[in-house]
Structures are given as C-alpha cells and as structure tokens.
C-alpha cells in the first residue's frame, strides 16, 4: 500500500513508519517537524526507496492537497497531534489548533482527494484517525475498562481536543461517507520517546542523580502499551480494519505510577549499581490539575476481529526501554541540548485560583 502518515516523525509515527516499510509499504511522511519530531528514529529506513518525507503543517490545506494529489496514497494514518497533558495546561491554544483545526483541515483535504479517485481506489481507501484513551476520562471502578462505546468525558485541554477530533472524524464518515477508522490507545512507551513523558523522565533524572517527581501519592493507574505493539495494531487496522469502526488498543498492563517508577529504579539498580538504590530519589509532588485516576483499555474487539494482541509485557518493555536509553546517551543528550530540560511544566493556575 501507499501510506500517507501525518506526524510520521513523532514517537509513535516513527515506529509505525519503520514497521510499515518492513512490511513492504511505501510511505510519505507529512510532518511539521516540531520540537517532538525525531528524525533520528527514522535513520534506519531513511535510505529506503519506500521512504519519503515532506515537511508540512496539517493546518495548511494547500500543502495537504498538493501532497495528497502528487502522492496518491491508498490510506492515510493521522498521527499528527500535540499530545502532552502538562503542555496543554500551560498552553491550550496549540492543542486546539493542531488537534481540532488540523484534523478538520485534513478531513476536508482527504475527502476532496477521496471523491476524485476512481471507484476502485475509493473502495480501497481508508483514513485511520489515531486517538487516545484519555478522551474517556477517569475510571474509578477497578473492574471497569474502556470499550469502543464508552462515553466521552475528557478532563484536560489535551484530551478535550482529541475528543473533538474523534467526533469530527466520525462526522466525516457519517455525513460525507469518508471511510474513517478511529483508534484509541493506552499509554505508549519505548525507545526514542521524547523526554517529557513519565518513563523517559524517570530514567534520565535517575541517571543524573536528580529527584524523581511523582504526582500526588503515585496511586494513578495507567495501562501501558509498548510502542512497537501499537504500530503493529495500527497497520493491522489499516490493512484489514472495517471503515466506520472504532478499535481500542491496549497493553493489558495496568500499573500504578509509583509501582512503575519503582520498577524502573530497580532496573537501573542492576545497570548502575553505583547509584543504587535509585528509589531513594523519588519525591512526591503536588498533583496535576484534573489528574485522571485510572485508564484501562478492553482490546477484545481488535483481538477478535484482527487477531491482534500485545506481545511485550510491561516487565520486558521496561527492560528493553531502559537498555535502549543506556545505549543511546548521545540521542538523549542531544535532545536535552536542544531545550528539553526534564523540568516539570503544567503548573499554570486557573483564573479562579
């Protein structure tokens, strides 16, 4: 297939590109190359004849139209998004622009491209809109899990902007017939993750002997999904998923934040015994505003329809991730030199505070 991947230079996007090329697909990445883009994650495939990169903003309708017309993709995987909750607290406007306006602009360009195709091409075409479990809000009952029909209850500017984009994608399916598939995934982690998310922050602050901030009491629970498993699910959905459907993608790996941090610390103790016990660096800090208590994905549908299931356990995934960060110091030092400080953000007070 010829795949047009927005945000293909991001963490999840790059993993998807690497796997897609391994599967034999042709790729055009359409990416604005913002602070979180990482071309180093694409070096292993950048010389492939199946790889193309085009710098562009999904809010730019003319650039999208030109790229789609010239490339003639069989499917679009829409991964371009602002995705960090704490950043959305400090500056929600970028999230509204990219996640809502950008998705609208892409849907319009994709629809115009789709209707211009021959009947066979229209039948084959898919637009896979990649979203998050955070749109569903917070789970309190320990037995509940999010399904494809769970109600939307977003509680942060980030999750609200993604919820809006999901609704737009479904509206273009229902109103205009655009063959859209929506996916909602749990928390991703793995090699090349930008050091603003929990796992790389813990690893890098621990290696530096700095305190490891844990929000609140660390009781918040997330379902963790190794990024390569997510990439495999996205390609399975693109290749064999049904238009108009939603697929939840989870790792079957629920864990309290404090337990996850301790797991990383124990792994670092094995590799860097001179700094052990790294757990001594844990520091509980003021909780994030509107912090959801628990997320958990029920992946029954994608497992049953597409025979997908996560292959990497949380223990194995943490080992592989820590090993990768230890072996790739030059990568994360370069990222830090370009302005990633590992300091906490998202402390902007509301106007009622």
Q: 87: domain CATH number?
A: 3.40.50.720
Q: Is residue 192 helix, strand or coil?
A: coil
Rounded percentage of the chain residues whose pLDDT exceeds 70: 97
Mean pLDDT of 165-181: 98
pLDDT digits (tens, 9 = 90+) for 270-309: 999 999 999 999 999 998 888 899 999 999 999 999 999 9
State the pLDDT at residue 353: 41
Q: Is residue 177 part of a domain?
A: yes
Task: Give the max Cα distance, the chain.
Answer: 65
Q: Is residue 200 helix, strand or coil?
A: helix
Mean pLDDT of 107-127: 97
State the pLDDT at residue 347: 66
State the pLDDT at residue 348: 66
pLDDT digits (tens, 9 = 90+) for 76-88: 999 999 988 988 9
Tell me: pLDDT of 223 over 90: yes
Tell me: pLDDT of 352 over 90: no
What are residue 246's phi and psi, to 5 degrees? -120, 140
* β-sheet bridge partners, residue 182: 129, 246
- The residues, any chain, with a CB within 8 Å of residue 335's CB and separated by 6 or more, are 38, 194, 195
State the pLDDT at residue 351: 43
* β-sheet bridge partners, residue 183: 130, 247
Q: Is residue 102 part of a domain?
A: yes
Q: In what order do the strands lie in the sheet with 221-226?
A: 187-189, 221-226, 254-256
What the block records as the tokens of 262 is 């301790």
Q: Is residue 21 part of a domain?
A: yes
Query: Looking at 302-306, 313-317, 346-350, which range is the least confident one?
Result: 346-350
Q: Is residue 95 part of a domain?
A: yes
Q: Is residue 77 part of a domain?
A: yes
pLDDT digits (tens, 9 = 90+) for 262-271: 999 999 999 9
- The residues that are catalytic are 133-134, 158
Q: Is residue 158 part of a domain?
A: yes
Q: Is residue 59 part of a domain?
A: yes
- Total number of domains constituting the chain: 1
Q: Is residue 328 part of a domain?
A: no
pLDDT digits (tens, 9 = 90+) for 17-50: 999 999 999 999 999 999 989 999 999 999 999 9
Tell me: pLDDT of 125 over 60: yes
State the pLDDT at residue 341: 67
Rounded percentage of the chain residues whose pLDDT exceeds 90: 89
If you ran DSSP here, which 8-state letter would residue 38 be given?
-
Q: Which residue would you say has higher pLDDT here, 337 or 253?
A: 253
What the block records as the tokens of 304 is 């049953």
Which residue from 329, 64, 56, 339 is spatially nearest to 204, judged by alpha carbons?
329
Reported as a pLDDT band with limits 50, 70 and 90, residue 142 is confident
pTM: 0.95
Q: Cβ–Cβ contacts within 10 Å for residue 107, how many?
A: 23
Which residue from 255, 262, 267, 263 is spatially nearest to 279, judged by alpha carbons?
262
The residue segments making up the domain with residue 235 are 2-189+224-253+291-315
Mean pLDDT of 190-203: 95
Alpha carbon distances (Å) from 83 to 11, 79, 132, 330:
11, 10, 9, 25
Q: Cα 303 to chain center, whole Å?
A: 20
State the pLDDT at residue 165: 98
What the block records as the tokens of 126 is 């898919």
């Amino acid at each position: 297939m010829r795949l047009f991947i927005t945000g293909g230079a991001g963490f999840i996007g790059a993993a998807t590109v690497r796997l897609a090329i391994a599967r034999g697909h042709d790729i055009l990445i359409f990416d604005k190359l913002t602070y979180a883009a990482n071309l180093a994650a694409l070096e292993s495939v950048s010389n492939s004849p199946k790889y193309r990169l085009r710098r562009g903003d999904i809010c730019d309708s003319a650039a999208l139209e030109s790229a789609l017309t010239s490339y003639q993709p069989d499917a679009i995987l829409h991964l371009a998004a602002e995705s960090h909750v704490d950043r959305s607290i400090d500056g929600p406007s970028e999230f509204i622009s990219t996640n809502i306006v950008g998705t609208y602009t892409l849907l319009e360009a994709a629809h115009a491209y789709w209707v211009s195709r021959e009947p066979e091409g229209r039948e084959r075409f898919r637009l896979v809109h990649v979203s998050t479990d955070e749109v569903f809000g917070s789970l309190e009952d320990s037995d509940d899990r999010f399904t494809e029909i769970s109600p939307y209850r977003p509680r942060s500017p980030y999750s609200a902007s993604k919820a809006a984009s999901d609704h737009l994608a479904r509206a273009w399916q229902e109103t205009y017939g655009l063959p859209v598939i929506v996916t909602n995934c749990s928390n991703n982690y793995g090699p090349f993750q930008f050091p603003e998310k929990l796992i790389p922050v813990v690893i890098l602050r621990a290696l530096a002997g700095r305190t490891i901030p844990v929000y609140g009491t660390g009781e918040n629970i997330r379902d963790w999904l190794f990024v390569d498993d997510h990439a495999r699910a996205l390609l399975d959905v693109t290749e064999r998923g049904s238009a108009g459907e939603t697929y939840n993608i989870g790792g079957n790996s629920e864990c309290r934040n404090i337990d996850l941090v301790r797991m990383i610390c124990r792994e670092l103790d094995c590799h860097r015994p001179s700094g052990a016990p790294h757990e001594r660096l844990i520091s509980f800090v003021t909780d994030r505003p509107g912090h959801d208590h628990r997320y958990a994905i029920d992946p029954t549908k994608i497992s049953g329809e597409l025979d997908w299931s996560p292959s990497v356990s949380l223990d194995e995934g943490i080992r592989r991730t820590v090993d990768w960060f230890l072996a790739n110091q030059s990568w994360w030092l370069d990222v830090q030199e370009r302005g990633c400080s590992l300091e906490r953000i998202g402390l902007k007070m509301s106007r009622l505070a």
